[in-house]
């Protein structure tokens, strides 16, 4: 594929910085949705709609078509719009339980270890984006837990909000603004807004290629699906499958940010996931995506034993089973859709800084939330891979076909010695 111009790369990174700093939580993804609506409104050739679950669909008004695709088999890039965070569950506790007018109660939606909450700093946002900072005092355990077992916390704000905050307002950990450190963006919520930004970046490049590209570069039928409430159990994605949002025959590439481990390093390139802790993904589609990665890199994800390290391709990618977590690809596979996942390796997963020490119990200081981070080079690689998949996504040759080809090419060596009678 043709290199993406630097001016477009700069735009993609600007969208990455903007999107990953927007407050969001399961069920209250409104701010991110408005940002995407504004992005689509600037592109009159695209349309933005919603299904009955509130998931967002972005697609060309006139379906793109190419020799490699048909309207009956669209390719979908999907990402979720929520991130583990709080909603205001009680902006004014009764005076007999808390005479302090600065006291509020928050409910947490998402998966974060209990150790990170005591004494943590938060910020709460009103509907008109006024902001109030505060400190978590205690976890609330009583006889009236909120629905679905979400955890509740007492928070003391630095100043009384005077009735400005309302039930359902969004709150999140309080962090410094996003910045680049050693080639990585450190920001509020990479998971999964960095993937959403990459999907939009790829869609914009594919729009240009549809208008200007040569025949071999023009995209097929590519659409985006932005789901809601993933962090509390894939609720939006499940809704999409029940509602028939994705038609039969769809090929679904779910995008994620997955916790980095030693064998899935940040800076090692985007990861083609072959499965998660729930399921293995569609082999043919996973193979097709991996083939596009090989096409870009000019080689496999790993240097082979017969190669030198200097033979490693400059464009890096990884192929891994991500056994520690789960993603929406498993939801789409369970619904009978052909689905796989591509992810960015993520630091400070779910804002849990020093997570390995936290799990091992070896941390010496109190645990505090930290900004998530991903490599900018991995992010650029993810955009590259999505563009390539949007241009061509053909089933990779089956292993059986490869075996047959090898046998036909090299069976002659079996005849180089004197023939013998088969033994039984």
For the stretch 267-291, pLDDT in tens is: 999 999 999 999 999 999 999 999 9
Structural domain span for residue 345: 6-82+179-401
**Residue 366 and residue 323 share a domain:** yes
* Alpha carbons 365 and 221: distance in angstroms, whole number: 52
Residue 414 lies in a domain: no
More confident residue, 193 or 147: 193
Residues 6+ apart with CB under 8 A from 323: 275, 276, 277
- Say whether pLDDT at 304 is over 60: no
Phi and psi angles of residue 172, each rounded to the nearest 5 degrees, phi first: -150, 175
Residue 318 lies in a domain: yes
Residue 323: band (very low, low, confident or very high) from pLDDT cuts 50, 70, 90:
confident
For the stretch 133-158, pLDDT in tens is: 999 999 997 666 666 789 999 999 99
- Bridge partners (DSSP) listed for residue 131: 125
**Residue 226 and residue 313 share a domain:** yes
Closest CA to 264 of 300, 312, 316, 311: 316
Residue 282: predicted pLDDT: 95
**Residue 276 and residue 231 share a domain:** yes
**Residue 186 and residue 109 share a domain:** no
Residue 120 lies in a domain: yes
Residue 142 lies in a domain: yes
> What pTM was computed for the model?
0.91
**Residue 119 and residue 44 share a domain:** no
**Residue 97 and residue 199 share a domain:** no
User: Which of 146, 173, 200 is a domain's end point?
Assistant: 173
Q: How many domains does the chain have?
A: 2
Q: Where are the alpha helices (DSSP H) in 298-375?
A: 328-334, 355-360
**Residue 326 and residue 213 share a domain:** yes
Sign, CA torsion 240/33/203/320: negative
Residue 145: predicted pLDDT: 61
For the stretch 229-251, pLDDT in tens is: 999 999 999 999 999 999 999 99
User: Which of 110, 140, 173 is a domain's end point?
Assistant: 173
Residue 43 lies in a domain: yes
- Say whether pLDDT at 1 is over 60: yes
Residue 338 lies in a domain: yes
- Say whether pLDDT at 103 is over 70: yes
For the stretch 23-40, pLDDT in tens is: 999 999 999 999 999 999
Residue 303: predicted pLDDT: 55
User: Which of 173, 193, 209 is a domain's end point?
Assistant: 173
Arithmetic mean of pLDDT, 329-345? 97
Residues 6+ apart with CB under 8 A from 90: 104, 105, 167
Query: What average pLDDT is seen over the chain?
Result: 91
What secondary structure letter does DSSP report for 165? -
**Residue 218 and residue 100 share a domain:** no
More confident residue, 317 or 399: 317
Residue 412 lies in a domain: no
**Residue 303 and residue 191 share a domain:** yes
Phi and psi angles of residue 25, each rounded to the nearest 5 degrees, phi first: -160, 160
Residue by residue, DSSP assigns 7-43 as HHHHHHHHHHHHHTTS--BTTB-HHHHHHHHHHHHT-
Arithmetic mean of pLDDT, 325-335? 95
**Residue 108 and residue 64 share a domain:** no
CATH at residue 107: 2.40.30.170
For the stretch 354-411, pLDDT in tens is: 999 999 999 988 999 999 999 999 999 999 999 999 999 887 666 788 889 999 999 9
CATH at residue 12: 3.40.630.10
**Residue 61 and residue 41 share a domain:** yes
Residue 69: predicted pLDDT: 45
Which residue is associated with the tokens 């793109």?
A: 64
**Residue 252 and residue 229 share a domain:** yes
Residue 413 lies in a domain: no
On whether the CB atoms of residues 388 and 295 are closer than 8 A, the answer is yes
- Bridge partners (DSSP) listed for residue 409: none
């Amino acid at each position: 594929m043709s290199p993406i111009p630097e001016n477009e790369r700069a735009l993609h990174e600007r969208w990455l910085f903007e999107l990953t700093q927007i407050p969001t939580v399961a069920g209250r993804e409104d701010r991110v949705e408005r940002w995407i609506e504004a992005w689509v409104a600037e592109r009159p050739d695209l349309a933005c709609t919603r299904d009955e679950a509130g998931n967002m669909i972005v697609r060309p008004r006139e379906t793109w078509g190419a020799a490699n695709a048909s309207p009956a088999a669209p390719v979908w890039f999907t990402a979720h719009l929520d991130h583990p965070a709080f909603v205001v569950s009680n902006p004014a506790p009764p005076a007999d339980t808390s005479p302090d007018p600065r006291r509020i109660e928050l409910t947490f939606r998402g998966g974060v270890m209990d150790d990170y909450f005591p004494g943590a700093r938060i910020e709460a946002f009103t509907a008109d984006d006024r902001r109030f900072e505060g400190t978590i005092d205690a976890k609330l355990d009583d006889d009236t837990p909120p629905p679905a077992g979400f955890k509740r916390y007492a928070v003391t704000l630095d100043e009384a909000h005077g009735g400005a905050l309302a039930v359902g307002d969004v709150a999140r950990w309080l962090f410094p603004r996003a910045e680049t450190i050693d080639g990585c963006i450190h920001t509020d919520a990479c998971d999964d807004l960095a993937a959403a930004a990459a999907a939009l970046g790829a869609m914009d490049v594919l729009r240009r290629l549809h208008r200007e590209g040569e025949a071999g570069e023009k995209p097929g039928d590519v659409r985006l699906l932005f789901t809601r409430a993933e962090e509390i159990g894939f609720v939006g994605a499940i809704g999409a499958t029940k509602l028939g949002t994705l038609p039969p025959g769809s090929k679904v590439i779910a995008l994620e940010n997955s916790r980095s481990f030693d064998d899935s390093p940040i800076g090692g390139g985007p990861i083609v996931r072959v499965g998660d802790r729930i399921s293995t993904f569609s082999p043919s589609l996973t193979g097709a995506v991996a083939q596009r990665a090989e096409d870009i890199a000019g080689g496999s994800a790993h240097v082979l034993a017969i190669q030198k390290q200097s033979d490693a391709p400059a464009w890096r990618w990884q192929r891994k089973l991500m056994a520690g977590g789960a993603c929406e690809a498993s939801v789409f596979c369970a619904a009978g859709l052909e689905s796989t996942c591509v992810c960015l390796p993520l630091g400070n997963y779910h804002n849990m800084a020093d997570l390995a020490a936290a799990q091992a119990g070896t941390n010496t200081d109190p645990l505090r939330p930290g900004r998530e981070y991903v490599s900018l080079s991995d992010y650029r690689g993810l955009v590259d891979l999505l563009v390539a998949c949007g241009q061509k996504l053909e089933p990779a040759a089956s292993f059986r076909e490869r075996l047959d080809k090898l046998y036909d090419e090299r069976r002659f060596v079996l005849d180089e010695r004197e023939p013998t009678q088969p033994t039984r």
